[in-house]
Amino acid sequence: MSNVNASSKAFTHKEIMVILGGLMTGMLLAALDQTIVSTALKSIVEDFDGLNHYTWVVTAYLLTSTASTPLYGKISDIYGRRPVFQFAIITFLIGSFAAGASQNMAQLIATRAVQGLGAGGLMALTFVIIGDIVPPRERGRYQGYFGAVWGLSSVAGPLLGGFFSDHATILGVTGWRWIFYINVPFGIAALAITSAVLHIPKVKREHKIDYLGALLMVAAVCTSLLALSIYGPQNGWGDSRTITYFVIGIILTILFLQWEKRAIEPILPLHLFKNHTFSLTSALGFIIGAGMFGAIVMLPLYLQVVKGNTATEAGLKLIPLMLGIVSTSIFSGKQITKHGHYKRYPILGTAIMTVGILAMVTLNADTPFWKLSIFAILVGAGLGLSMQTIVIALQNSVDFKDMGVATSSNTFFRSLGSVFGTAIFGTILTNRVGHYLVTNFQELGASNPAALQGFDPKALEGIQNNTAVLQTLPPVIQTTAIDAFVHSFHIVFLAAAPVTTVGFLLALFLREVPLRTSADYASAREDAAGESLG
């Protein structure tokens, strides 16, 4: 009976803040590494000559963190939140050290995948633990802290990535490698803090882990991504390999869904989709993830390639994006706690995000920074209003016994959106850059043949693989090449806007359910604890 009492005991604000400190440290690690690579990507691909595969440095990380996210909730039910959270930190640190030591693009992508395995636990368990200890009505007051972590990582990541990659070497080590090595002291600090403060009463449930489901899901996502981001763009969408991988991806997805219907404890319980709020927030999470990474990966690349900023400058110029995320996340959190209404914020958020993304279609080589700042603030504000709010709506709508798996599943869909968003937008960018480079130089040759004298057309391929080549070109040719990148970014933003518009339409159908209070939550927690003992 002591387990029931322990699990149903309400935590004081002070106790929650102490636990929050440990969670935020771990979450900062994972969030930072989603963004720290963005400004360093240019230096990395120039070292490894791999612009065609640059999005895989981000995608590999997102893919494994996505696939592992639903597993962590159940594993932590069996072994306890703290040891599993710390296992995730250690896995993340091993991947970080190995990524820093990578010698080629293939090794870097593989070690980023190991990092992602750890990050999946850090991201998922943070929200599961908060769901364990804070009732939905009170959760808004803590939402701003997580918004702040996301905001800090969205700027500190690119800024640190820029600082390190702008230095050829630091302490005898190639500058960009420090974006991974810097995780080691942070990780040790996270381990120390969680050991000291992460003491959560354990309500043990016997679970069977759906390893086959996880394997089928990873295989389905991987094969689909190979078709979308490698074979399709390189070999053509009608190529036999592209079609084969698409078909295999569809077959594996069907097998995954069929298996989940029969699995004793599925990795993604299909019965949850009968819950209107779960289905809507899953779709919204997917869209928000795609929109967020479209901005975080594309903006630094635009600033460095088109505007000629250093990586550090590109990181600093993402501060408006952070301000948008943090300010609206804190504002919406306080308003939800005060008034108990949440539906309006995802509606506003997705609308504002769409306006910001559409505005970015006007960016060109001469766009002043103040104008870019306004667009970035709009995108950030949209993310801040939407991201944490849909988690509150979801956790309020499911039974306490489903809290872990429902929250993990929502994180999974947001990560899945990030994976596909990064891969698809990256594919569109590289595909359009190739197209516009050819057409722009054909037009230049027709209008000013003298400008192309002595220029080797094979250099166009070099520009695609290594943007450092741009700085070595004559002014007229350099302007023509940069113009190809500008038009390509326009296509990416035009492709992203309809996605966030769908998010806005979905948010309109969100049902507003009164948020549960501390008394309701204590009762639900006690019932769940009693069931687990029974």
Res. 520: pLDDT tops 60: no
**338-361 CB burial, b ≥16 within 10 A, e <16:** eeeebbbbbbbbbbbbbbbbbbbb
What Å distances lie between residue 165 and 45, 58, 297, 363, 471, CA to CA? 11, 16, 16, 25, 17
Predicted confidence band of residue 6 (pLDDT cuts 50, 70, 90): very low
Most confident of 32-36, 223-227, 428-432, 462-466: 428-432
The residue from 246, 263, 280 where one domain ends is 263
Dist. CA 250–CA 259, nearest whole Å:
14
- DSSP secondary structure letters along 409-450: HHHHHHHHHHHHHHHHHHHHHHHHHHHHHHHHHHHHHHH-GG
Most confident of 128-137, 277-286, 387-396, 425-434: 277-286
* 241 plus 327 within the same structural domain: no
* 233 plus 100 within the same structural domain: no
Predicted confidence band of residue 1 (pLDDT cuts 50, 70, 90): very low
Higher-pLDDT residue of 81 and 382 is 382
What pLDDT score does 66 carry? 73
Higher-pLDDT residue of 378 and 433 is 378
What mean pLDDT value characterizes the chain? 79
Mean per-residue pLDDT, 197-209: 66
What pLDDT score does 204 carry? 57
Tell me whether residue 368 is exposed, middle or buried, using C-beta atoms within 10 angstroms of its C-beta: 0 to 12, 13 to 18, 19 or more: exposed
pLDDT (tens digit per residue) in 132-168: 777 766 766 676 677 677 767 766 777 787 788 777 7
What pLDDT score does 349 carry? 92
Mean per-residue pLDDT, 88-101: 90
Dist. CA 425–CA 124, nearest whole Å:
25
Res. 60: pLDDT tops 50: yes
Token pair listed for 36: 């720290």
The answer to whether residue 456 is domain-embedded is: no
The residue from 233, 248, 263 where one domain ends is 263
The answer to whether residue 102 is domain-embedded is: yes
The answer to whether residue 528 is domain-embedded is: no
Q: How far apart are the first and last CA of the chain?
A: 11
Q: In DSSP terms, which residues pair with 170 in a beta bridge?
A: 173
Residue in the structure block whose two tokens are 């190529």: 239
The closest of 319, 342, 320, 321 to 332, measured between CA atoms, is 342
* 483 plus 505 within the same structural domain: yes
* 52 plus 192 within the same structural domain: yes
* 46 plus 181 within the same structural domain: yes
Dist. CA 231–CA 239, nearest whole Å:
8
- How many CA atoms lie within 13 Å of 396's alpha carbon, on the beta-carbon side? 28
What pLDDT score does 91 carry? 93
Higher-pLDDT residue of 239 and 530 is 239
* 246 plus 199 within the same structural domain: no
Mean per-residue pLDDT, 392-396: 81
The answer to whether residue 253 is domain-embedded is: yes
Indicate which CATH number applies to the domain containing 479. 1.20.1250.20
* 55 plus 186 within the same structural domain: yes
- Percentage of the chain beyond pLDDT 70 is 83
Tell me whether residue 43 is exposed, middle or buried, using C-beta atoms within 10 angstroms of its C-beta: 0 to 12, 13 to 18, 19 or more: buried
Q: In DSSP terms, which residues pair with 169 in a beta bridge?
A: 174
Higher-pLDDT residue of 197 and 357 is 357
* 221 plus 129 within the same structural domain: no
Tell me whether residue 46 is exposed, middle or buried, using C-beta atoms within 10 angstroms of its C-beta: 0 to 12, 13 to 18, 19 or more: middle
The closest of 128, 222, 98, 517 to 340, measured between CA atoms, is 517
Q: Which of 39-43, 229-233, 437-441, 472-476 has the lowest mean pLDDT?
A: 229-233
Mean per-residue pLDDT, 260-281: 84
Tell me whether residue 65 is exposed, middle or buried, using C-beta atoms within 10 angstroms of its C-beta: 0 to 12, 13 to 18, 19 or more: buried
Q: Which of 94-108, 311-325, 480-494 has the lowest mean pLDDT?
A: 311-325
Token pair listed for 42: 């240019």
DSSP 8-state assignment for residue 52: G
Number of domains within the chain: 2
Q: In sequence order, what are the residues at sequence separation of 6 or more whose Cβ sits closer than 8 angstroms to the Cβ of residue 171?
A: none
* 287 plus 256 within the same structural domain: no
* 84 plus 179 within the same structural domain: yes
What Å distances lie between residue 158 and 154, 172, 309, 432, 459, CA to CA? 7, 22, 13, 25, 29
77-80 contacts, C-beta under 8 A, 24 or more apart: 77/203, 77/204, 77/205, 77/207, 77/404, 78/204, 78/205, 78/206, 78/207, 80/200, 80/202, 80/204
Q: State the residue range of the domain holding 257.
A: 211-263
What pLDDT score does 53 carry? 64
Dist. CA 470–CA 308, nearest whole Å:
10
Contact in structure between 177 and 167 (CB atoms under 8 Å): no
Higher-pLDDT residue of 279 and 399 is 279
What pLDDT score does 136 carry? 65
* 241 plus 311 within the same structural domain: no
Contact in structure between 193 and 28 (CB atoms under 8 Å): no
What pLDDT score does 388 carry? 77
Mean per-residue pLDDT, 12-27: 78
Res. 8: pLDDT tops 70: no
pLDDT (tens digit per residue) in 326-359: 888 888 878 887 777 888 899 999 999 999 999 9
Res. 72: pLDDT tops 50: yes
The answer to whether residue 168 is domain-embedded is: yes
Contact in structure between 409 and 266 (CB atoms under 8 Å): no
pLDDT (tens digit per residue) in 101-112: 888 888 888 898
Res. 391: pLDDT tops 90: no
Dist. CA 145–CA 333, nearest whole Å:
9
* 78 plus 226 within the same structural domain: no
Mean per-residue pLDDT, 107-118: 88
